[in-house]
């Protein structure tokens, strides 16, 4: 106890007053992310940190890591925690480094078109800041109003605008990283502009989910604001038509800025909340940006293509509404007390098969699931199914978590892969990569972080609070057991949001 108190005082001294806390409330706030977890999960993981620190400068982060090393404390970096796989949640307690306070936009290099930011900068704020200077950031997560730059790039960075401008890996030019040793490095040469330098280490840390170091400064490629920016929305009779349309879009000679889809169940959820929502079997949202003449040409081209595929163009008002609501996919969680979202990348020509198999799974597990997503490139679609849950009914909520694992198995079957490992899906790496690659990844982790100090027990293996490792076979057995348990419950039912959780009629 005495040693713990001394360690806490050391962490408190590393940051300015008011940026350290060991209060139960602050620790509780940082013990979960977007996905609601039943309290029983605390039996397996020590999800509540011992202390929370909120540094403002890279040097403070480095000192925090050095102190953690001296006291043998685990370190969990945290952004806005807007993901749902436990990557920003401790599994063995320790110190949570909340990077949300590192929110400075350091500056814009107009000549190179690069903006430098700290990891806690929220995407929406960054875009507004750039807009005032005649620039925009055309790639960002759908959760842009709350998600941080550091969090998104650490999880791989696919989202809005990736179809035309690429992912985080295509647009992050350099990083400053605090390594598990407490040393700071720059991953690329500071003067290298858009071209990678020799031995550029940037991609090693993009998508590493904070397991190799803590990102403290980020250089991003940005672009001049477009002359014209136009969203359009097309309604289709069912999801078969939607995915056939996506295949045609991916093969078209012209390329929209953003291509997204939403199924009819999503709008049924909204109507169950008492909100106005369109009647449709599915929707495709196409967004165009660039010189006005080019945008007009693209709209005419895709308008004809969508009509030929059975789509009906909705009004401009509907299109503008759908575009403005792009960051609020989980607004229907008000029907219950929480929502859980899965994410996978699948070949665009296999998306319909994935959907059909997923719907069979939904029927078996007696669930109501909505599907949305977007094209990442001409061959890949991001699938984001989500379901509503009530973590207060912890047995049912826990059994429902198996849906994400089962859905990722379906994606793997058709040549896709899951997006995100974190704490809860770490064993999915065995479905994503071959064993030789996994062994190399483990060696990289062991070399950079031999003690497993930073976000240990995640990404390449699942580790419980007492250091117990859970292999893929045991994980698969557990998920199958939970799926069987879920099938024993009555079908999920939704009608309207009420304080007590789900109630009312059923949406098939």
Do residues 160 and 94 share a domain?
A: no
Number of domains the chain contains: 2
pLDDT at res. 333 = 62
Do residues 74 and 114 share a domain?
A: no
pLDDT tens for 235-291 read 999 999 999 999 999 999 999 999 999 999 888 888 877 788 889 999 999 999 999
In the listed set 49, 77, 100, which residue is the last one of a domain according to the structure? Answer: 100
Residue 142 included in any domain: yes
pTM for the model stands at 0.87
In the listed set 60, 83, 100, which residue is the last one of a domain according to the structure? Answer: 100
**Top-confidence residue, 449 or 392:** 449
Residue 157 included in any domain: yes
What residue numbers bound the domain in which 136 lies? Answer: 105-224
Q: What is the CATH number of the domain that holds 171?
A: 3.30.465.10
Residue 441 included in any domain: no
pLDDT at res. 498 = 39
pLDDT at res. 421 = 76
Do residues 169 and 214 share a domain?
A: yes
Question: What are the contacts of 413-416 at 24+ separation with CB within 8 A?
Answer: 413/357, 414/346, 414/347, 414/350, 414/353, 414/354, 414/357, 415/346, 415/347, 415/350, 416/344, 416/345, 416/346, 416/347, 416/350, 416/354, 416/383
Do residues 68 and 111 share a domain?
A: no
pLDDT at res. 432 = 79
Average of per-residue pLDDT values in the chain: 86
pLDDT tens for 138-153 read 999 988 888 999 999 9
Of 97-101, 128-132, 190-194, minimum mean pLDDT range: 190-194
pLDDT tens for 305-329 read 999 999 999 999 999 999 998 887 7
Closest to 176 (Cα-Cα) out of 215, 213, 120: 215
Is 63:14 a contact under the CB 8 Å cutoff? Answer: yes
pLDDT tens for 180-199 read 999 999 999 765 555 556 78
């Amino acid at each position: 106890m005495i040693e713990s108190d001394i360690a806490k005082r050391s962490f408190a001294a590393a940051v300015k007053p008011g940026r350290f806390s060991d209060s139960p409330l602050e620790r509780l706030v940082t013990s979960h992310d977007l996905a609601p977890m039943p309290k029983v999960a605390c039996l397996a993981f020590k999800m509540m940190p011992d202390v929370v620190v909120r540094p403002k400068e890279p040097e403070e982060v480095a000192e925090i890591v050095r102190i953690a090393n001296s006291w043998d404390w685990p370190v969990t970096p945290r952004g806005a925690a807007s993901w749902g796989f436990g990557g920003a949640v401790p599994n063995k307690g320790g110190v949570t480094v909340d990077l949300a306070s590192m929110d400075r936009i350091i500056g814009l290099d107009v000549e190179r078109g690069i903006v430098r930011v700290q990891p806690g900068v929220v995407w929406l704020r960054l875009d507004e800041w750039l807009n005032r200077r005649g620039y925009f950031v055309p790639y960002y997560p759908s959760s842009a109003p709350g998600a941080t730059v550091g969090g998104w790039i650490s999880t791989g960075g696919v989202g809005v605008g990736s179809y035309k401008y690429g992912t985080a890996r295509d647009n992050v030019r350099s990083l400053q990283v605090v390594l598990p040793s407490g040393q700071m490095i720059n991953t690329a040469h500071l003067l290298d502009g858009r071209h990678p330098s020799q031995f550029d280490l940037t991609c090693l840390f993009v998508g590493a989910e904070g397991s190799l170091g803590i990102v403290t400064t980020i250089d991003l490629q940005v672009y001049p604001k477009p002359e014209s920016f136009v969203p359009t929305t097309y309604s289709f009779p069912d999801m078969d038509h939607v995915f056939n349309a996506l295949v045609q879009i991916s093969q078209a000679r012209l390329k929209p800025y953003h291509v997204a889809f939403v199924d009819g169940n999503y709008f049924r959820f909204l109507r169950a909340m008492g909100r106005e929502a369109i009647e449709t079997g599915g929707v495709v949202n196409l967004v165009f940006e660039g010189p006005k003449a080019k945008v007009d040409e693209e709209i005419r081209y895709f308008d004809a293509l969508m009509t030929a595929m059975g789509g009906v163009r909705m009004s401009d008002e509907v299109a503008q509404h759908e575009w403005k609501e792009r960051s609020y996919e989980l607004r229907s969680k008000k029907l219950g007390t929480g929502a859980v979202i899965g994410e996978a990348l699948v070949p665009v020509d296999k998306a319909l098969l994935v959907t059909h198999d997923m719907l069979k799974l939904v029927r078996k597990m007696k669930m109501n699931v909505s599907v949305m997503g977007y094209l990442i490139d001409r061959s890949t679609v991001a699938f984001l199914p989500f379901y509503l849950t009530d973590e207060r009914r912890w047995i049912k909520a826990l059994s429902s978590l198996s849906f994400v694992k089962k859905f990722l198995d379906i994606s793997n079957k058709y040549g896709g892969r899951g997006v995100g490992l974190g704490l809860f899906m770490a064993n999915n790496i065995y479905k994503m990569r071959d064993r030789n690659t996994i062994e190399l990844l483990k060696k990289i982790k062991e070399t950079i972080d031999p003690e497993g100090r930073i976000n240990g027990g995640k990404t390449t293996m699942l580790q419980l609070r007492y250091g117990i490792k859970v292999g893929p076979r045991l994980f698969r057995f557990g998920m199958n057991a939970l799926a069987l348990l879920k099938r024993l419950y009555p079908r999920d039912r939704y009608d309207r949001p009420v304080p007590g959780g789900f109630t009312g009629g059923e949406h098939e």
